[in-house]
Amino acid sequence: MNLEKALAGNRLVLLDESALIGMRLIGGEETTGFVSDMIDVFLTDALVCMQDMTCGHEAGDLRRIQGAANTLQLSAAHMGAETLAHVCEAIEEASRAGARGLCGEMLEACQEAYTRTEEALRDWS
Amino acid sequence: MISKVFEELVLTDCLPSPSGVGMQILQLTQGDDFSTAEIGMAISADSALTGRLLRLANSAESGSVEPITTVGEATIRLGIRTVRNVALGLSLISTNRQGACTAFDYDRYWSLSLGRAVAAQQLSRHLRIGVPAEMYILGLLADIGSLALASVHPESYAELLTFADYDGPEGLLREEESRFEINHIDVGVCMLAEWGLPPTFGEAARRFEGLDFAAQGTKLSSVEALIKAADIIARLCLGDSSKRTNAPSERAARYRTLRASCSLDNELFDRIADSIAKEWREWGQLLHIPTQAPFGFENLANGTEETSAEGVLNEKQSSNMEKAAQIQALKPVPGISGLHVLVVENNPAAAKLIEGHLAHVGHRVTVVTRGDDALRVVLEENPALVISSLETPGLDGLALCRAVRQISTGRKTYFLLLSDRTDEAADVQAFEAGVDDFLVQPFNPLVLVARLQAAVRCHATSVLLAAQENKLVKHNARLQILMRKLRSAALTDPLTGLPNRRYAMKRLGQAWETSVRSGRQMSVIMMDIDFFKQVNDRFGHQVGDVVLRETSIQLQEVCREEEDVCRMGGEEFLVICPGSGSEAAMACAERIRVAVEANVVRWKGVECSVTISLGVASREPSMTQDDDLIKAADDSVFIAKKSGRNKTVIAEINSPRRESA
């Protein structure tokens, strides 16, 4: 399933920059390094979550998929990565509903959302 | 004079005092009617104090096979008085780590005190002097007077330490006396007495700085020598050999002299000193007190010590100061920062985000990923605020909150739960578990910071209330102490320190009741100094007072512990002998008479001796009240006086009267 299909017509931005600006606003100028660190931590952890979801799917472990999707959804939301957060939420719901096949299909969309988000975040920082 | 000045210091309410739990323990132990369970409960309410107490109990009792795991066990092994003193001493550290006197080096003060405490404990165990845990507390509090002056007069004391031109320790004492009418040693001694610590503590504290010496061979002189040795080792650990110089050769010489003066093998002494340095560091970590990198004492003695430990401390302190200055410069929200916040979050990005925002506004943040680890941090470090995610491994957010609320200090901790659940049932569950606030994830960082401001306000109110409560507890404890003193004064003869007539009559009534109820014998010995008026007339009232004091000392030395020696007034004394029949009381009376007669009173060139006349009476079936007993003894004294004095007469109700001498 490609990303557009996964989004099911929801008009979401790839990256809500206000979240990142908010991080800067609270801390002031000197937190520029902090925001970059945040992006690094997020991207590193996101890879771990995606790996977890893939392994869970291969092993038929829906609880593992659900846990990893929930973690990534929250992290993505904190970072303003709306598209990625939306796809993760959908995967979480699918796994909770026991729809293993749907989960597998949406993992491809998740990978695509992650790649685009990563590019956007790297550009932003 | 000293006690008057000290009372004024007490009234300032600025003297170092133990924590709330410490004060509670102090209060509980003012009388004789406290139980082990009460002390145990009071100590257990402070988990950090409990942990430290158990650590000390185990290190002090290193010979034991089984480790001590509860306050109750510690009480049984160490004794309730020791546990009480240890709890009191340790709780002092937590409430007096820092202060307002800018020139007083609080880190160094506590570091040295801690080193002295550990050294005193270990030396006590190896040299078999005193109780190790008690010696630990004596070492810890031996210099408490310095901290007290810095607390009561922060500005003047800072000025004294910075600008006054005094010469050595004695010069410092003189300077303190000229400014505050009291020196730090006297303040310390008064404080130890005020807290009800054993008199040996005060005497050893008075002498450990080397300004006064106890008679050699006494228990006090051993304790004094122990604390002096502990002080030297602590200073060597800290990096100086005396208060003025830090030359390596002098450090080595001082250590070698100390080692030679102890009755231990050099190699063993080096091992003990190294062990002291190691334990000092461990305690330092536990109590957040700076210590030094270890160095071998054998190397020190041989003059091959590699680094100056003093340099390490200075470097560390200076680095801490720089860090503090940087943090200060970064604080953007004055007045609402500086709290210790525990973040429990297993999502790295969320944890980093929260940590970043909190640290930036000046809060000290600890991040853990597991709920069970969080509970450990709460127990050990008592953070002001806990921010926890709902789903954390080990213990979820709700279970963690419930557990925190079970801890006495945790009831005041502000608990903010983060959850991605938005249903009302989740809210209900969270508040039922005891959370103070609830934030739905993903949260807006601005909202998080705004919520934190509410948390900080709550915390500030809670701290204010706790301070007021602590103040009330302190006042209450002070009143209890005052009442104890008043009670004691009302029942004590000020000249001799013996119980007075009021006490004697009350005690006699109790002994009489017990004797009647149990059918056991009881006797009293009434006595009167012969020709006392002539002593006063010939040598003056001052000599008369010395005679009364010395006679009272003779009485106390001769009598057994269960016998009560009282001054009835003037030159008249009474001894109440529960359980003694006429024969035993007569023997006791004779011992008293002989001892008083043999004693020569010397005072300012005057020498004199006195004799006493004694009357012994035992309870007889024909007697109906305790007054009958006193009257019979009084009558016997009268007969002894009439028949030549310096003799004992026993009142015989149903048989011929007997006389001695």
Stretches where chain B sits below pLDDT 70 are 1, 19-20, 26-27, 29-34, 45, 47-48, 60-66, 81, 210-220, 240-248, 294, 303-337, 653-661
Instruction: Take residue B639 and report the two structure tokens written for it.
Output: 């007969």
Percent of chain A with pLDDT over 70: 82
Instruction: Take residue A10 and report the two structure tokens written for it.
Output: 């929801």
Mutate which of A25, A31, A34 to disrupt the B interface (most B C-beta within 10 Å)?
A34
Q: For chain A, which residues lie within 8 Å of any Cβ of chain B, measuring from their own Cβ? A: 22-23, 25-28, 30-31, 34, 37-38, 41-42, 44-46, 70-71, 73-75, 77-79, 85
Contact state of A27 with B349 under an 8 Å Cβ cutoff: no
From the number of C-beta atoms within 10 Å of its C-beta (0-12, 13-18, 19+), residue B306 rates as: exposed
Q: Which of residues 441-480 of B touch A (CB under 8 A)?
A: 441-446, 449
Nearest CA-CA distance, residue A77 and chain B, Å:
6
Number of C-alpha atoms within 13 angstroms, CB side, residue B550? 22
Which of B352, B445, B446 is nearest residue A37 as measured by Cβ atoms?
B352
Nearest CA-CA distance, residue B442 and chain A, Å:
6
Residue of A nearest to B361 (CA): A27
CA Rg value for chain A: 15
Q: In this predicted structure, what is the pLDDT of residue B443?
A: 78
Nearest CA-CA distance, residue A71 and chain B, Å:
6
Q: Provide DSSP, B469-492.
A: HHHHHHHHHHHHHHHHHHHHHHTB
Domain coverage including residue A39: 9-124
Peptide bond between residue B442 and the one before it cis (omega within 30 degrees of 0)? yes
Mutate which of B347, B354, B420 to disrupt the A interface (most A C-beta within 10 Å)?
B347
Q: Do domains B340-465 and B501-659 have the same CATH topology?
A: no
Instruction: In whole angstroms, give the CA distance from residue B412 to residue B339.
Output: 13
Residues forming beta bridges with residue B202, ordered by sequence position: none
Contact state of B352 with A44 under an 8 Å Cβ cutoff: no
Which of A26, A42, A73 is nearest residue B357 as measured by Cβ atoms?
A26
Contacts of B441 in chain A (CB under 8 A): 74, 77-78
Q: In this predicted structure, what is the pLDDT of residue B325?
A: 36
Contact state of B353 with A78 under an 8 Å Cβ cutoff: yes
Contact state of A31 with B360 under an 8 Å Cβ cutoff: yes
B102 touches B154 (CB < 8 A): yes
Does domain B501-659 fall under CATH 3.30.70.270? My reply is yes
Task: Assign residue B497 a region (left: φ > 0; alpha: ψ between -120 and 50; beta: otherwise).
Answer: left
Which phi and psi angles does B363 have, rounded to 5°? -80, 150
Alpha helices in A3-99 (DSSP H): 3-7, 17-27, 32-59, 62-79, 82-96
Q: In this predicted structure, what is the pLDDT of residue B476?
A: 78
Alpha helices in B239-339 (DSSP H): 248-261, 266-287, 297-302, 309-330
Contacts of A79 in chain B (CB under 8 A): 349
Does domain B340-465 fall under CATH 3.40.50.2000? My reply is no
Does ipTM come in above 0.95? Answer: no
Instruction: Take residue B132 and report the two structure tokens written for it.
Output: 């190790």
Q: At what angle do helices A100-124 and A82-96 cross, to 10 degrees?
A: 160
Contact state of B347 with A75 under an 8 Å Cβ cutoff: yes
Q: In this predicted structure, what is the pLDDT of residue B501?
A: 94
Q: In this predicted structure, what is the pLDDT of residue B327?
A: 33
Looking at residue A86, which CATH number applies to its domain? 1.20.120.160
Which of A37, A45, A77 is nearest residue B442 as measured by Cβ atoms?
A77
Q: Kindly state whether residue A72 falls inside one of the protein's structural domains.
A: yes
Q: Report the run of H or E that residue B633 belongs to, with start and end.
A: helix B626-642
Residues forming beta bridges with residue B566, ordered by sequence position: B574
B390 touches B397 (CB < 8 A): yes
The whole-angstrom distance between residue B343's C-alpha and the CA centroid of its chain comes to: 36
Instruction: In whole angstroms, give the CA distance from residue B129 to residue B226.
Output: 8
Higher pLDDT: A85 or B319? It is A85
Contact state of A41 with B352 under an 8 Å Cβ cutoff: yes
Write out the CATH class of domain B2-14+100-311: mainly alpha
Mutate which of A66, A73, A74 to disrupt the B interface (most B C-beta within 10 Å)?
A74
Mutate which of A25, A26, A86 to disrupt the B interface (most B C-beta within 10 Å)?
A26
Q: Report the run of H or E that residue B658 belongs to, with start and end.
A: strand B658-659
Q: In this predicted structure, what is the pLDDT of residue B316?
A: 37
Task: Assign residue B644 a region (left: φ > 0; alpha: ψ between -120 and 50; beta: otherwise).
Answer: left
Which of B332, B350, B444 is nearest residue A75 as measured by Cβ atoms?
B350
Nearest CA-CA distance, residue A107 and chain B, Å:
20
Contact state of A74 with B420 under an 8 Å Cβ cutoff: yes
Contact state of B357 with A78 under an 8 Å Cβ cutoff: no
Q: Kindly state whether residue A1 falls inside one of the protein's structural domains.
A: no
**Does B349 lie at the interface with A, CB-CB under 8 angstroms?**
yes
Point out the residues of B that are catalytic: 571
Contacts of B444 in chain A (CB under 8 A): 22
Q: In this predicted structure, what is the pLDDT of residue B414?
A: 92
Q: In this predicted structure, what is the pLDDT of residue B632?
A: 95
Instruction: In whole angstroms, give the CA distance from residue B8 to residue A46.
Output: 65
Which of A27, A30, A74 is nearest residue B347 as measured by Cβ atoms?
A74
Q: What is the DSSP letter of B500?
A: -
Q: How many CB pairs under 8 A join A and B?
A: 64
Q: Kindly state whether residue A16 falls inside one of the protein's structural domains.
A: yes
Contact state of A31 with B444 under an 8 Å Cβ cutoff: no
Domain count for chain A: 1
Residue pLDDT, tens place only, A25-78: 655 555 557 788 889 999 999 999 999 999 999 999 999 999 999 999 999 988
Instruction: Take residue A117 and report the two structure tokens written for it.
Output: 């988000």
